[in-house]
Amino acid sequence: MHYSPDHHDHGLPYDPLKSLVVPRPIGWISTVDERGGVNLAPYSFFNLIADRPAYVMFASDGRKDSLRNVEVTGEFVCNLVTEELYEQMMATAAPFPHGQSEPERLGIDMRPSIRVNPPTVAAARASLECVHYRTVNLPGANDDQLSPYQVVIGRVVSVSVDDAALDPKGYVRPDLLRPVARLGYQHYAIIENTFAHPLPKAPDHPEATS
Ligand SMILES: Cc1cc2nc3c(=O)[nH]c(=O)nc-3n(C[C@H](O)[C@H](O)[C@H](O)COP(=O)(O)O)c2cc1C
C-alpha cells in the first residue's frame, strides 16, 4: 500500500508513519524557566545530528514548556533514558501545568550539570549538556501555514557517561547501558541485541589515482 502523508489516505486504523522510522531515541530534556523552576519531559523526535562539533535536535509539537524554556534561557540537557528510568520518564510526559516542576512533583532527583544551568537527572547514565543554536519552525502542509512542529537545535558542550557502561578497552557497551527507544504506536524497545560489522572498504575503481 502507499498513501500521501499530507492526506492521511492510508485507510488504516492509525497512521503508520511513526512505526516505519524506528527505533527513535528518546531525549529526556531538562530545562529551567526564568525563575529557576526545573522542567523535565521526553522527546522522541530527537537525535544527534552532527558530531564535529556535536549538535542535537528535538522537535516540539506546539509551544511546550521545554521549547519555551530553551528559548528563554538558551540551555538544555538531554538525559539518556535507560531501562531503570523508563517509568519515571513516562511519568514526566503527563501534561503538568506550566510552572509546575515534574522532578519536584514526581520526586526525581536532579544533580548540577557541568557546563549549563539546567540540572541533569541524577540517575541518568549518560547526558548531553547543550546550548541553544536556533529554532526552526517547519512549513506546514499548505505553504501559507506553519507546521505545529518547531525544531530546537542545540550545540553539545559537555558529555557525561557512567564509567560502568564502558568495557575495559573504553568502548560504550549497549548491553550494559540498555537504552530505551520508541517504536510506533505505544511500543518501546530496550536495545540489547546488537552486532558489530566493519565499514565496507572503498570498491576498486579503475580510474582511481592514488
Ligand atoms: C516517549 C515519549 C516521546 C515524546 N516525544 C515527543 C516529541 O518528540 N515532541 C513532542 O512535542 N512531544 C513529545 N512527547 C510528549 C511530551 O513529552 C509531553 O507533551 C510533555 O508534557 C511535554 O512537556 P513540556 O511541556 O514540559 O515540555 C513524548 C512523550 C513520550 C512519552
Domain ranges of the chain: 25-190
**pLDDT tens column, 48-86:** 999 999 999 999 999 999 999 999 999 999 999 999 999
Instruction: Give the number of other Cβ atoms within 10 Å of residue 7's Cβ.
Output: 8
Percent of the chain with pLDDT over 70: 97
| pLDDT of amino acid 207 | 62
Would you say residue 208 has pLDDT above 90? no
| pLDDT of amino acid 180 | 97
The reply to whether ligand 1 has any atom less than 6 angstroms from the CB of 61 is: yes
Residue 63 DSSP one-character state: S
| Class of CATH domain 25-190 | mainly beta
The reply to whether ligand 1 has any atom less than 6 angstroms from the CB of 68 is: no
For atom 18 of ligand 1, the residue with the nearest CA is 93
> Mean per-residue pLDDT for 5-24?
94
Candidate from 43, 65, 76 with most ligand 1 atoms within 8 A of CB, to mutate: 43
184 vs 98: CA distance, rounded Å: 28
- DSSP H/E element including 141: none
Would you say residue 209 has pLDDT above 70? no
For residue 181, the cross-strand partners are 25, 189
Task: Look at the chain and count its residues.
Answer: 210
For atom 13 of ligand 1, the residue with the nearest CA is 43
> Mean per-residue pLDDT for 38-54?
98
Per-residue pLDDT band at 202 (split at 50, 70, 90):
confident
The reply to whether ligand 1 has any atom less than 6 angstroms from the CB of 64 is: yes
The reply to whether ligand 1 has any atom less than 6 angstroms from the CB of 176 is: no
Per-residue pLDDT band at 206 (split at 50, 70, 90):
low
Q: How far is the CA of 93 from the centre of ligand 1 (A)?
A: 6
Per-residue pLDDT band at 39 (split at 50, 70, 90):
very high
DSSP per residue, 89-133: HHHTTS-PPTT--HHHHHT--EE--SSSSSPEETT-SEEEEEEEE
48 vs 154: CA distance, rounded Å: 10
Average pLDDT of every residue of the chain: 94
Per-residue pLDDT band at 167 (split at 50, 70, 90):
very high
- Global pTM? 0.95
For residues 46 and 26, is the Cβ–Cβ distance under 8 A? Answer: yes
**pLDDT tens column, 122-136:** 999 999 999 999 999
Candidate from 44, 68, 104 with most ligand 1 atoms within 8 A of CB, to mutate: 44
131 vs 58: CA distance, rounded Å: 13
Would you say residue 13 has pLDDT above 60? yes
27 vs 191: CA distance, rounded Å: 15
For residue 134, the cross-strand partners are 153
> Mean per-residue pLDDT for 28-44?
97
Name the one residue in this structure whose C-alpha cell is 539546567: 118
Residue 61 DSSP one-character state: E
- Range in 7-11, 113-117, 152-156 the model is least confident about: 7-11
- How many Å is the maximal CA-CA distance in the chain? 66
| pLDDT of amino acid 116 | 98
